[in-house]
Amino acid sequence: MIVEAASLRFHALAQGPEDGPLVLLLHGFPELSRSWRHQLPALAAAGYRAVAPDLRGYGGTDALGPYDVRTLARDVDALIGALGRERATVVGHDWGGVIAWAAAHLHPDRVERLAIMNAPHPVLMKKELTASGDQRHRSRYILQFQVPFLPERRLSRDRGAAIARALRGGSYVRDAWPDEELEHYRRAFDEPRKLRGPLAYYRTAFRNALLRRGPRLPGRIEVPTLVLWGMRDRFLAPSFADPQALERFVRDLTVVPIDDAGHFVQNEAPERVSDELVRWLQASGAQHAPEQPDAEHCREHEAEH
């Protein structure tokens, strides 16, 4: 499926009835739309229209900057409109979660519900990086990514072998990544040019933090918000899922810790994540069918699942 939005062509996977409530799923690094391959059919079976795009610069989506958080949040706004909807449930993991947090603050009229998986609220992440030696240690790879050119070459070497190691080695449940699944990611990141966009997310965020020009995230998120957190995360501290810390930013909050999963929670505990997500959507009232998608903006092609 190709979606034209924000002057880009987004490659996306989609399942579920076209008139079902829209759920937009945003992946993280170093991932792809297929990171949601377990949740897409589960959401479709429950009657939702589930759409998972490759983010700007990833996979089959155009690699055009800029890659600042405000622009990435605007992509969410544009994608929802291009899919012919006024509002959607936005689900995000890792970088996709950061974008989802920002979209809920900056485009509140577009986000009907918000679900976050192992992605810190941007304000809390900034605070922890300056105050916590533990989180700086966990996030030391961000500094490594600031070096020009070298990370692209290192990560793409040997057909993206380092990407495969990062996914499997960064997981608590390592058998979530069989060799045949990792082949998709190795192909997607097997050349330095294929990593320029994904690494630009980190470089832009780091530069903007140094220059103190990151986006202000106004107001409090009013819509129902679910946080699913794999508690064995190697990269992000479990304190990011502390309800007391998050209630400063969210009015209607549900936090579900998942003890036997790590950072890549939707792949490490796929059935649990799908069940929790569908249950929460149904309990929070995301059951009505909105208008049909706009065929002029959304052209479907055979998608690989």
In the chain, domain spans: 2-288
Q: Which CATH architecture has domain 2-288?
A: 3-Layer(aba) Sandwich (3.40)
pTM, two decimal places: 0.91
The confidence score (pLDDT) of residue 64 equals 96
Active site residues: 94, 202, 263
Query: What local confidence, expressed as pLDDT, does residue 144 receive?
Result: 87
Give pLDDT tens digits along the chain (305 positions): 999 999 999 999 999 999 999 999 999 999 999 999 999 999 999 999 999 999 999 999 999 999 999 999 999 999 999 999 999 999 999 999 999 999 999 999 999 999 999 999 999 887 766 656 677 778 778 888 899 999 999 999 999 999 999 999 999 999 999 999 999 999 999 999 999 999 999 999 988 887 777 678 888 999 999 999 999 999 998 999 999 999 999 999 999 999 999 999 999 999 999 999 999 999 987 654 444 444 334 333 334 44
pLDDT of residue 209: 80
Question: What's residue 266's pLDDT?
Answer: 98
For residue 84, the model assigns a pLDDT of 97
- Compute, in degrees rounded to 10, the torsion defined by CA atoms 279, 283, 288, 290: -70
Residue 127 and residue 194: Cα distance in Å, rounded?
31
Token output for 163: 């990407």
CA distances from 112 to 50, 103, 143, 263 (A): 14, 11, 35, 25
Residue 128, pLDDT score: 63
> What pLDDT does residue 138 have?
81
